[in-house]
Amino acid sequence: MLLTINGRQRRLTVPPMARLLDVLREDCGLTGTKEGCGEGECGACTVLVDGVAVDSCLVPVAHVEGCQVVTIEGAAAAKRSAKALQNAFVEHGGAQCGICTPGMIMAALPLKAGASRDEIKTALAGNLCRCTGYISIFNSVEAALSPAKKGPPSRVALRRASAHARRR
Amino acid sequence: MGRAVGTSVRRKDGDAKVTGAAKYIDDLTFPGMLFGATIRATIPRGEIVNTHIDLSPDYIVADYRDIPGKNYVALLDPDQPCLAEREVRHVAEPVLLVAHADRRALFGIDEQVRFDYRELAPNYDPETSETCFKQIAIDKGDIERGFRDAEVVVDGEYRTSHQEQLYIETNGVIAVPGDGQITVYGSLQCPYYVHKALVVLTGFTPDRVRVIQTETGGGFGGKEEYPSMLACHAAILAIKTGKPVKMIYDRVEDLLATTKRHPAIVRHRTGLTRDGRITAMAVDVLMDGGAYATLSAVVLSRGVIHAAGPYRCDHIRIRGRAMMTHTPPNGAFRGFGAPQTQFAVEAHMDRVAEALGIDPVRLREVNALRPGDSTATGQKLGKDASALPVLREAVKRSGFRRKRREWKGTNRGIGLSLFFHGSGFTGAGEVKLASKASLELTRSGARILVASTEIGQGTTTMLAQIVADALELPFAAIEVQQPDTDVVPDSGPTVASRTCMIVGKLLERCARDMRRKLGALTPAQYFTRHGAFTVTKQYEPPAGLAWDDQRYSGDAYGSYAWGCNVVEIEVDPVTFEVTPTHVTAVAEIGKAIHPLMAEGQIQGGTAQGLGYALLEEVVMRDGRMANAQLTNYIIPTPMDAPPIEVAMLERPYAHGPYGAKGVGEMPIDGPAPAVINALRHCGFDIRLIPATPERLMRARR
Amino acid sequence: MPVDARTLTLQRPRNLKAALAMLAKEPTLTPIAGCTDVLVGLHFGTSDTRQFIDLWSLDELRGITSKPILRIGALTTYTEIIASPLVQKRVPMLVAAAREIGGAQIQNRGTLGGNIANASPAGDTLPVLAAAGALIVLRSASGERRVSFARFYTGYRTSVRQPDELITAIEIPAIDGRQWWRKVGTRRAQAISKIMMAGVRSPADHLRQGYGGQEAGRHSCKVRIAIGSVAPTVVLAEAAAAVLSQGGAIGDAQAALRKEIAPIDDLRSTGDYRQQVAANLLAAFWKDTE
């Protein structure tokens, strides 16, 4: 089977009904894509197939033959907004334990610049996080997609920090 | 300099996590590695009388007879076997282990093994259980006198259910055997707990056992004690086969077999004067420990110590029991007993306010613990006691009183909760732990050597900030060693909101010593002239801290963090669905070392608490979790997340690094009672969580 | 425990004709499309099918057309339904239902035909299709037939579809009047339905011939109500609808509805709750569509 993953063609001998997730992790060594549930609930295994976000645990590898598959490892090379998203997840607290993070970023990747908070929530509705309560994830995506809000790293962090009241 | 602490520096583990480069346990592989699976009992109670195994010789099977050392998971009590020998006490109890070179060859393996059982009648009810793991009694003042002084007495019973930690990365380890030694890599919170368990299991000397924590995808307590069991399993197979063995649970197995939050039944009887002053508090706490003791004794301990809430009262009687039932053992989960008991006391306080006809804020203002007051265990509180400041801040920020008035009789409700949480191990726990931390000079700065683990909460970044400032070096000059028992000292487990306050303080002391030793030299200059050196510090209790474990009285914790939540909700009258629309979370934590991460802890804990209150239910049928799938165990999604407005107050604790206290656990203490009190405001009398729509339908007043 | 993918076979026809020929020869093949249910069943070992035929690449089964009636190809994904101006205009309740299925990843892969074929009592689009009076287009190597949605299911996860037949499209007649949809799930996204209701309330004088051929005649209006997750298959609440059509009181309609459904306790909810909420939803539908 001939697959195109992160722009690179790979010829693999895999059963057609193998989960794309297993092929990525075990046959291609691309372990950035995570498994959290195996049933399309948690979104940790999200990748892009021809630009569309899918749960790779629910895609038989036969379905991506001839398609462009992009994983977190290839995100920055495939799409310009990826780097901003990745940076924002660090800057704005979107990544804590990090296990949902690749899936979150891949699910956010199809969003357009200036996406509203509702659009962000809709895009991420299929991704579970247990660390953040999601707010810092929404903040991260919003910051990455709204160029106007971008500032030097320390300023961003400080502005958020100033939100907390100080009593001595 | 002092420029890292208090600012939201770029977290050290961030870049690897957002690019997919971070290696979690399932991302690792070793040459010749086998895969391991666990065969588990399918009955809740009985004896295994026969075992039928139908497997080809390429499968390696191990049972308890393959254990080189002792067959128990070394934790507190030696009661839990690593592999069941004959007796079965719960569904999913591990009995056999199977290894194979092909991961897929293990699919459906449990169908090839059959046990004949002699079944016994299980008991799932902690109230009728005859086995008590732990009893605790706390007595302050004279409870009879307190009730004699009362003009009003209010009784109440409150129940909480199991809750699953639901880290998104399931439990997993890899055991690598060597010549008479074993190394275990894993997703875990407490490397030295695993080390201790492996020493007992293998009979190896401690120096021949090595534990290395890999990037860990969430823990929340769920990777406090369970990894010891899993590491033992992988080690048994690795020793038997002489090959590395990887064991990763899939979600179903993780849900079925691993620990949950203890369900609790808490009964209150409270005496008050008519104007709302508490004269007596009698509290009975019953926890369901599940089939083995695991950490139930200490969960109960924290539960009972927090059971009277953050309130002043001269006459308190608290009784606590942790009972055995034939369900998988319950264990550590963020909050560790305190969420259960503070749910009860805070739901009770709103019923008390209702009985007295006074405002719930007023009731709490009258009774809130102030500096100089004493807690249920008789601990005299320091200047940082902040119940009143957090209450007032939350009430003001949220517009509580106005909304309470305006929303009365509508489908909207607003409720609050006031709570506190002790930082660090309970009582003499920290003295017994005697944690160590080390700091090693490097050419460019210093390397932190601690066993404290990064599980998402920001340990590595936060500790490096503390060290950077105390060493007067830039944050980037501080490295953090991956926890590896061959390299780092035992800094104690990463639990109990202790990492920042206890380990952070140890490192601050290390750094100050190192700073003195460097004198006028930079690390590079010192390194070149004298070479590297390491500073190690061991925990010493602050002067005057005293605890009596027999009478359960004294200074239960070095310090407490304080919190107040206001939750606003909307109830759909058609479907009884509850939507939290806004949460105000005020937390007094001494010092926010990294404000963004501290805020993240508070938001994340609050969201987990909202799930506890409204959504998350472990459906136990015949001792087995019947909804062991992410489709059916319901945690909040992005669509369920309300805005959570966080306000952090800082009243420094003299013995915390830069004044810091613990923050990780407290946020989960408050949301559930605040939700239930908001529901009461809407006309629903709920005494059991989760408050599902099905329960609400029946509870409408 | 998962099923080993090496034990599974997948036939990959190039076009619909080839697919139908394969099915005619081997009717035991299980058709797959978006796989959002099939791979879950294989992962949990709850599915005992091992031989599959892949429809995903059959573009003939995609697309939404409206001449003369709205026709949605079986492989149309929920995302495509949500984005379709035609569906938005004609069957907004279907768009609403599609929006609430899973999350974005599931909507990108799950198909309308798959939802019907999977035949779960909790299938989210099924009450909508029932209330809309949809027709299911079935095709085999020997021909094509249309089955009204109300007659499609014969019991729990069983239908009139023959093993050699494929669902090729769903046809939805023009709907007059107001459409109403409500899903009550376990949470706000990634939720399996505890109960859901689709309703259509048409004024009497605009009556069209529906699939059932019922004439409203003297009725003040025409009402269709379908409920999911309250019985082994989606329920068309005809008695409750009749009470409302004839100008009866909502309380009487609720009483009729209670007799038409048989909800059970399961992992997600209780029979009591479903009974009560079904009645509440009926009242909400009636009030909202006034």
| Residue A34, domain CATH | 3.10.20.30
Identify whether residues B36 and B104 lie together within a single domain: yes
Exposure string for B2-33, b = 16+ CB within 10 A, e = fewer? eebbbbbbbbbbbbebbbbebebbbbbeeeeb
Residues of B in contact with C280 (CB under 8 A): 573-575
pLDDT at A148 over 90: no
Confidence of residue B340 (pLDDT cuts 50, 70, 90): very high
**Residue C233, C-beta contacts closer than 8 angstroms, at least 6 positions apart:** C119, C121, C153, C155, C156
pLDDT at B60 over 80: yes
Q: What is the pLDDT of residue A156?
A: 35
Q: What is the pLDDT of residue C221?
A: 84
Q: How far apart are the first and last CA of chain A?
A: 66
- Residue range of the domain that includes B221: 32-122+166-257
Is residue B102 within 8 angstroms of chain C, CB to CB?
A: no
Is residue A80 within 8 angstroms of chain B, CB to CB?
A: no
Identify whether residues B397 and B523 lie together within a single domain: no
> Looking up tokens 């909760």, which residue turns up?
B417
Contacts 24+ apart (CB under 8 A), C218-223: C219/C245, C219/C246, C219/C247, C220/C245, C220/C246, C220/C247, C221/C177, C221/C245, C222/C177, C223/C199
Identify whether residues A43 and A96 lie together within a single domain: no
Compute the mean pLDDT over every residue in chain B, rounded to the nearest whole number.
97
Write out the two tokens for B232.
């033992």
Q: What is the pLDDT of residue C219?
A: 54
Identify whether residues A83 and A154 lie together within a single domain: yes
Give me the count of residues in chain C: 290
How far apart are alpha carbons B650 and B660 in whole angstroms?
A: 8
Measured CA to CA in angstroms, residue B29 lies from B183, B218, B245, B621, B697 at distances of 14, 21, 9, 37, 51
How far apart are alpha carbons A113 and A141 in whole angstroms?
A: 10
Could you give the angle at which helices B226-241 and B191-202 cross, rounded to 10 degrees? 40
Q: Provide the 3-class DSSP secondary structure of residue B447.
A: strand
When scoring A1, A12, A14, A17 by the number of chain C Cβ atoms within 10 A, the one with the most, hence best to mutate, is A17
* Residue A38 to residue B251, Cβ atoms within 8 A: yes
Identify whether residues B201 and B117 lie together within a single domain: yes
How far apart are alpha carbons B364 and B369 in whole angstroms?
A: 9
Q: How far apart are the first and last CA of chain C?
A: 51
The verdict on residue B272 lying in a domain is yes
**Residue B501, C-beta contacts closer than 8 angstroms, at least 6 positions apart:** B423, B424, B558, B559, B590, B653, B655, B656, B657, B660, B661, B662
Strand bridging mode B87-88 / B46-53 = antiparallel
Half-sphere exposure of B559 (CA within 13 A, CB side): 30
Question: CA-nearest residue of chain A to C103?
Answer: A126
- Residue range of the domain that includes A132: 77-161
Burial of B175 (0-12, 13-18, 19+ CB in 10 A): buried
* Residue A96 to residue B458, Cβ atoms within 8 A: yes
How far apart are alpha carbons B423 and B591 in whole angstroms?
A: 13
Q: Which of C8, C52, C108 sits opposite A54 (nearest CB)?
A: C108
Q: What is the pLDDT of residue A152?
A: 43
Domain edges within chain C: 62-172, 193-207+218-288
Is residue A41 within 8 angstroms of chain C, CB to CB?
A: yes
Identify whether residues B70 and B218 lie together within a single domain: yes
* Residue B107 to residue C45, Cβ atoms within 8 A: yes
Q: Which of B107, B629, B634 sits opposite C187 (nearest CB)?
A: B634
How far apart are alpha carbons C194 and B572 in whole angstroms?
A: 15
Exposure string for A15-30, b = 16+ CB within 10 A, e = fewer? bbbbbbbbbbbbbbeb
Q: Residue ranges of the alpha helices (H) in B129-216? A: 143-148, 191-202
* Residue A38 to residue C44, Cβ atoms within 8 A: yes
Is residue A102 within 8 angstroms of chain B, CB to CB?
A: yes
Helix (H) or strand (E) holding B388: helix B387-398
CATH class for the region spanning C62-172 = alpha beta
Residues of B in contact with A89 (CB under 8 A): 14, 17-18
pLDDT at B301 over 50: yes
Listed residue (C229, C253, C3, C245) closest to C120, CA to CA: C229
Burial of B626 (0-12, 13-18, 19+ CB in 10 A): middle
Which residues between 535 and 574 in chain B have a beta carbon less than 8 angstroms from any beta carbon of chain C?
A: 573-574
Write out the two tokens for B198.
């492996």
CATH number at residue B62: 3.30.365.10
Identify whether residues B384 and B268 lie together within a single domain: yes
What is the distance of C-alpha B684 from the center of its chain?
30
Number of domains forming the structure of chain B: 3
Q: Which of C9, C34, C104 sits opposite A125 (nearest CB)?
A: C104
How far apart are alpha carbons B85 and B72 in whole angstroms?
A: 11
Confidence of residue A96 (pLDDT cuts 50, 70, 90): very high
Strand partners, B630: none
Mean pLDDT (whole number) for C188-213: 78
Mean pLDDT (whole number) for C107-122: 97
* Residue B630 to residue A124, Cβ atoms within 8 A: no
* Residue A22 to residue C106, Cβ atoms within 8 A: no
Half-sphere exposure of B246 (CA within 13 A, CB side): 19
Which homologous superfamily is C193-207+218-288 in? Answer: CO dehydrogenase flavoprotein, C-terminal domain (3.30.390.50)
Q: Which of B7, B10, B167 sits opposite A161 (nearest CB)?
A: B7
Q: What is the pLDDT of residue C203?
A: 84
The verdict on residue A168 lying in a domain is no
Identify whether residues A23 and A90 lie together within a single domain: no
User: With the CA atoms of A56, A59, A61 and A66 taken in that order, what torsion angle do they form, in degrees rounded to the nearest 10?
Assistant: -90
Is residue A58 within 8 angstroms of chain B, CB to CB?
A: no
Is residue B217 within 8 angstroms of chain A, CB to CB?
A: yes
Question: CA-nearest residue of chain B to A122?
Answer: B639
Q: Is the dihedral of CA B197, B202, B206, B207 positive or negative?
A: negative
Identify whether residues A81 and A154 lie together within a single domain: yes
Identify whether residues B370 and B445 lie together within a single domain: no
The verdict on residue B72 lying in a domain is yes
Identify whether residues A82 and A31 lie together within a single domain: no
Question: CA-nearest residue of chain B to C282?
Answer: B574
pLDDT at B80 over 80: yes
How far apart are alpha carbons C194 and B694 in whole angstroms?
A: 11
pLDDT at B506 over 50: yes
Q: What is the pLDDT of residue A3?
A: 96
Residues B678, B680, B686, CA angle at the centre, nearest 5°? 110
Measured CA to CA in angstroms, residue B339 lies from A132, B334, B423, B436, C274 at distances of 19, 8, 14, 29, 31
* Cis amide prior to B671 (ω within 30 degrees): no
Taking only the tens place, the pLDDT of each residue in C81-113 is 999 999 999 999 999 999 999 999 999 999 999
Taking only the tens place, the pLDDT of each residue in B407-442 is 999 999 999 999 999 999 999 999 999 999 999 999
> Looking up tokens 């379905």, which residue turns up?
A63
Residues of C in contact with A122 (CB under 8 A): 104
Half-sphere exposure of B134 (CA within 13 A, CB side): 23
Last residue of a domain, one of B486, B516, B538: B538
Helix (H) or strand (E) holding A119: helix A117-124
Q: What is the pLDDT of residue C146?
A: 98
How far apart are alpha carbons B682 and B575 in whole angstroms?
A: 15
**In this structure, which amino acid lies at residue B590?**
G
Identify whether residues A44 and A17 lie together within a single domain: yes
Compute the mean pLDDT over every residue in chain C, rounded to the nearest whole number.
94
How far apart are alpha carbons C194 and B577 in whole angstroms?
A: 12
Q: Phi then psi for B265, rounded to 5 degrees?
A: -120, 120
Identify whether residues A44 and A10 lie together within a single domain: yes
Identify whether residues A81 and A153 lie together within a single domain: yes
Listed residue (B448, B455, B456) closest to B504, CA to CA: B448
Burial of A2 (0-12, 13-18, 19+ CB in 10 A): exposed
**Chain B nearest C-alpha distance from A33 (Å):** 7
Q: What DSSP character marks residue A32?
A: T
Taking only the tens place, the pLDDT of each residue in C141-186 is 999 999 999 999 999 999 999 999 999 999 999 999 999 999 999 9
Burial of A83 (0-12, 13-18, 19+ CB in 10 A): middle
How far apart are alpha carbons B337 and B461 in whole angstroms?
A: 28
**Chain A nearest C-alpha distance from C84 (Å):** 17
What one-character-per-residue DSSP string does B34-56 give? EEEEEEE--SSSEEEEEEEE---
Taking only the tens place, the pLDDT of each residue in B664-699 is 999 999 999 999 999 999 999 999 999 999 999 998
Helix (H) or strand (E) holding B563: strand B559-571
Identify whether residues A12 and A37 lie together within a single domain: yes
> Looking up tokens 């890292």, which residue turns up?
B4
The verdict on residue B90 lying in a domain is yes
SS3 of chain B: helix, strand, coil, percent, to 5: 30, 25, 45
How far apart are alpha carbons B667 and B661 in whole angstroms?
A: 13
Last residue of a domain, one of A45, A75, A105: A75
Give me the count of residues in chain B: 701
**Chain C nearest C-alpha distance from B635 (Å):** 8
Is residue B220 within 8 angstroms of chain A, CB to CB?
A: yes
Helix (H) or strand (E) holding B175: strand B172-177
The verdict on residue B142 lying in a domain is no
* Residue A86 to residue B18, Cβ atoms within 8 A: yes
Taking only the tens place, the pLDDT of each residue in B113-145 is 999 999 999 999 999 999 999 999 999 999 999
Q: Which of B575, B627, B634 sits opposite C277 (nearest CB)?
A: B575
B-to-C residue pairs, Cβ atoms closer than 8 angstroms: 74
The verdict on residue B5 lying in a domain is no
Residues of A in contact with C43 (CB under 8 A): 19, 38-39, 57
Identify whether residues B376 and B397 lie together within a single domain: yes
Last residue of a domain, one of B233, B257, B281: B257
When scoring A24, A97, A154 by the number of chain B Cβ atoms within 10 A, the one with the most, hence best to mutate, is A97
pLDDT at A150 over 70: no
Residues of A in contact with C78 (CB under 8 A): none
**In this structure, which amino acid lies at residue B696?**
L
**Residue B250, C-beta contacts closer than 8 angstroms, at least 6 positions apart:** A38, B170, C2
Residues of A in contact with C77 (CB under 8 A): none
Listed residue (B614, B318, B565, B281) closest to B421, CA to CA: B565
Write out the two tokens for C253.
């309609």
The verdict on residue B452 lying in a domain is yes
Q: Phi then psi for B477, rounded to 5 degrees?
A: -80, -5
Mean pLDDT (whole number) for C64-78: 96
Is residue B577 within 8 angstroms of chain C, CB to CB?
A: yes
* Cis amide prior to B177 (ω within 30 degrees): no
Number of domains forming the structure of chain A: 2
Last residue of a domain, one of B222, B239, B257: B257
pLDDT at C209 over 80: no
* Residue B577 to residue C184, Cβ atoms within 8 A: yes
User: What is the ipTM score, two decimals?
Assistant: 0.97
Q: What is the pLDDT of residue B532?
A: 96
Q: Which of C8, C36, C104 sits opposite A122 (nearest CB)?
A: C104
Max distance between CA atoms of chain B, in angstroms, equals 78
Identify whether residues A90 and A54 lie together within a single domain: no
Q: What is the pLDDT of residue B701?
A: 64
Mean pLDDT (whole number) for B60-87: 97
CATH number at residue A151: 1.10.150.120
**Chain C nearest C-alpha distance from B242 (Å):** 27
How much of chain A, in percent, has pLDDT values that exceed 70? Answer: 87
Mean pLDDT (whole number) for B429-456: 97
Strand bridging mode C30-32 / C51-54 = parallel
The verdict on residue B128 lying in a domain is no
Q: Provide the 3-class DSSP secondary structure of residue A120.
A: helix
Identify whether residues A65 and A14 lie together within a single domain: yes
- B92 dihedral zone (left: phi>0; alpha: psi -120 to 50; beta): left
